[in-house]
Structure 1
Amino acid sequence: MASVHGPKLIAGNSNLKLARSVARRMSLHRGMNVDLVDARVERFNDGEIFVEVYENVRDEDMFIIQPTSRPANDALMELLIIADALKRSSASRITAVIPYFGYARQDRRSKARTPITAKLVANMLEEAGIERVLTLDLHATQIQGFFDIPVDNLYASPVFALDVKHHFKDQMDNLMVVSPDVGGVARARDLAQRIGAPLSIVDKRREKAGEVAEMTVIGNVEGRTCLIVDDIVDTAGTLCKAADVLMENGAKEVHSYITHGVLSGPAVDRITKSVMKNLVITDTIEATDAVANAPNIRIVQTAPMFAQAILNTWSGTSVSSLFSTESLSAIYEGIYDCS
């Protein structure tokens, strides 16, 4: 049951910018000021993480905003320790808002004697006292089944659809959505259906892990403005090579819509030098200075969606209503004009 005071937000250090944006959006929705709970989340000299909550949270509905992105282990430990602090302070319910769910790529045993780390993380979150998880574009949707607590997995495709209709309003008949591999077809198809575009696939063959030996385009992309869709961009090697292959097959332009911009190592340099006109990512992972200043990387907001999802969770109303582009268009009013 929703508390009379409303939901309370607390954040670790992983993406304070996003957490503050969510608080501002909730203030607009509720017509009253919503601030992050005053807390101390810091490290001792030996690297140990310490948390102290300065406000009373007894019987409060608490939401911890903390993507488990770089450095993943520190972000995860902050989340667990904040949850333990809240549980020991008698919070009525603790929801982990994890915009980027780290370790999600380790969702199965790919070979003998390897872990399923995503399951281990799920166990740790539950043991810490977290009673609900709210996340965005899980790398593998079956990770929801690793938990014995409710998991709400939001989707970036409705927001991407708004962005596409805004920025490509004069080219809608010439768009082609492209999945960079066979495994991502469902995600790409979802965006394609939302914007009424056809679908193509880049089939990649690997000789060994981390190296793509061959890429083949399935579908006719000649003269099309291609939109590559995926959930994670890390070193960007495969993404940039896919853009090259599409251009070699006659594509007019290549843009990419990727939910989580991990962008490690040489990624930014590769993207800057790539044939891609634009890479569009969300703000689930706090942008480094290199990412923020890259001329062909653009960041879209997730705070309006997360703010509404938190309010819906607190009030006991539908979160799945946010899967609809039409529902989100009202939330993103003033940000996108798709008329």
Structure 2
Amino acid sequence: MPTVIEPKLIAGNANKPLANAIARRMSLYRGGAVGLVDARVERFNDQEIFVEVYENVRGEDMYILQPTSNPANDNLMELLIMADALRRSSAARITAVIPYFGYARQDRRTKARTPITSKLVANMIHEAGVERVLTMDLHAAQIQGFFDIPVDNLYASPIFALDIQHQFKDSLQDVMVISPDVGGVARARELAKRINAPLAIVDKRREKPGEIAEMTVIGDVTGKKCIIVDDICDTAGTLCKAAEVLMDHGATEVHAYITHGVLSGPAVERVTKSVMKSLVITDSIAATDPVAAAPNIRILPTAPIFAQAILNIWNGTSVSSLFETDVLGPIYEGIL
């Protein structure tokens, strides 16, 4: 088998701008051109997905760049079919780079006779020929255990910490990190530790899915610049309501840092009209035109951390080193 010389990238249609950005960053790090493998990923008239790879990938270390965001089913099938095409083309190793892992919210049985779809998707990815998964901020940490292959889960909190330290450099002493629910306390605490800020919680109770009965603030937010941190923002109902409650309890400003901006339905309109001063998301999901045009939504790049993580996997060096702000700082220098 030929020696693996360079990592090769191939992208589906889910987030081409991010795929191109990752290739550009890898070119910068490597000091030579790193491009996307020439391939076509298209649909027949009946919406069947077809993949054809135009370059030789025999014995190569392949990285498929494809978040499984909306439309989740189409993007997931693209990922699976690309993996099968590469496996049948004798690629030496196939790594799925999934910035946003769809179906992650179906990670357990909440009621009788419901599926654990995250596990089903994990099985499908493995069976398609993927040998490693690289993702960011899984909705639940146990999803890593659903796979029988290595899973590297990157975190957005070091990127958020760098951005907060830059944006609030003159008033860091007034910043307070907020968890929008009890289940997200660990994530919020991690960010709070990184920026040396206090922590508060908004406890919400639902009468039924999609409706929030009441919210209680646990902690004193009076005079604070509150930063709500979470992994997913879908319709933004909870987020905007939490911002209102925090302002009612004496907060001077409310900002939100969310890893995956799903932002479906009325989300953009709600965020635009809300009391939140800013919503910061990453580009793990391709931004729609309304998201890109929203005046109080800002997008942070993930290409630098993904490019470095891919190179670390290829080199056989530590991926967890990217969890440290000291390591990530130089990678994001001049970007944030």
Contact 2:226–2:253 under 8 Å retained in 1? yes
Deviates more, 1:275-284 or 1:327-336: 327-336
How far has the Cα of 1:5 moved from its partner?
2.4
The corresponding residue for 1:278 is 278
Distance change >3 Å, CA 42–CA 241, structure 1 → 2: same
Distance 1:119 1:211 in 2: 28
The corresponding residue for 2:204 is 204
The corresponding residue for 1:36 is 36
Q: Per the alignment, in what secondary structure is the counterpart of residue 76 of structure 1?
A: helix
Contact 1:2–1:315 under 8 Å retained in 2? no
Distance 1:208 1:244 in 2: 21
The corresponding residue for 1:64 is 64
Q: Per the alignment, in what secondary structure is the counterpart of residue 57 of structure 2?
A: coil
Contact 1:256–1:276 under 8 Å retained in 2? yes
State the Cα deviation string for residues 169-195 of structure 1 (Å, max 9, x = none): 011000000000000000000000000
The corresponding residue for 2:135 is 135
How far has the Cα of 1:210 moved from its partner?
1.3
Q: Per the alignment, in what secondary structure is the counterpart of residue 107 of structure 2?
A: coil
How far has the Cα of 1:311 moved from its partner?
0.1
Distance 1:228 1:254 in 2: 7
1:180-195 counterparts in 2 under 5 A?
180-195=180-195
**Letter aligned with residue 60 of structure 2:** E
Which consecutive residues of structure 2, in runs of 5 or more, have no partner in the other structure? none
Distance 1:135 1:3 in 2: 27
In the alignment, structure 1 residue 85 sits paired with structure 2 residue 85: yes
Distance change >3 Å, CA 2–CA 258, structure 1 → 2: farther
Q: Per the alignment, in what secondary structure is the counterpart of residue 207 of structure 2?
A: strand
Contact 2:237–2:270 under 8 Å retained in 1? yes
Contact 1:96–1:133 under 8 Å retained in 2? yes
Contact 1:253–1:276 under 8 Å retained in 2? yes
Contact 1:66–1:98 under 8 Å retained in 2? yes
State the Cα deviation string for residues 272-328 of structure 1 (Å, max 9, x = none): 000000000000000000000000000000000000000000000000000001100
The corresponding residue for 1:150 is 150
The corresponding residue for 1:225 is 225
Identity %: 78
The corresponding residue for 2:113 is 113
Distance 1:260 1:52 in 2: 30
Distance 2:3 2:183 in 1: 42
**Letter aligned with residue 27 of structure 1:** S
Distance 1:168 1:107 in 2: 35
Distance 2:33 2:99 in 1: 23
Contact 1:2–1:316 under 8 Å retained in 2? no
In the alignment, structure 1 residue 250 sits paired with structure 2 residue 250: yes
Contact 2:4–2:61 under 8 Å retained in 1? no
1:294-313 counterparts in 2 under 5 A?
294-313=294-313
Contact 1:94–1:129 under 8 Å retained in 2? yes
How far has the Cα of 1:4 moved from its partner?
4.7
Distance 2:73 2:187 in 1: 28
State the Cα deviation string for residues 39-89 of structure 1 (Å, max 9, x = none): 000000000000000000000000000000010000000000000000000
Distance change >3 Å, CA 225–CA 305, structure 1 → 2: same
Contact 1:2–1:61 under 8 Å retained in 2? no
**Deviation above 4 Å: which 4+ runs of structure 1?**
1-4
Q: Per the alignment, in what secondary structure is the counterpart of residue 264 of structure 1?
A: coil
Give the TM-score of the pair, scaled to structure 2: 0.99
Distance 1:325 1:99 in 2: 20
In the alignment, structure 1 residue 332 sits paired with structure 2 residue 332: yes
| Aligned-pair Cα RMSD in Å | 1.0
In the alignment, structure 1 residue 263 sits paired with structure 2 residue 288: no
**Letter aligned with residue 206 of structure 2:** R
Number of residue equivalences: 336
Which consecutive residues of structure 1, in runs of 5 or more, have no partner in the other structure? none
State the Cα deviation string for residues 228-271 of structure 1 (Å, max 9, x = none): 00000000000000000000000000000000000000000000
Distance 2:121 2:4 in 1: 32
Distance 2:294 2:330 in 1: 30
Distance 1:335 1:162 in 2: 10
Give the TM-score of the pair, scaled to structure 1: 0.98
Distance 1:208 1:4 in 2: 53
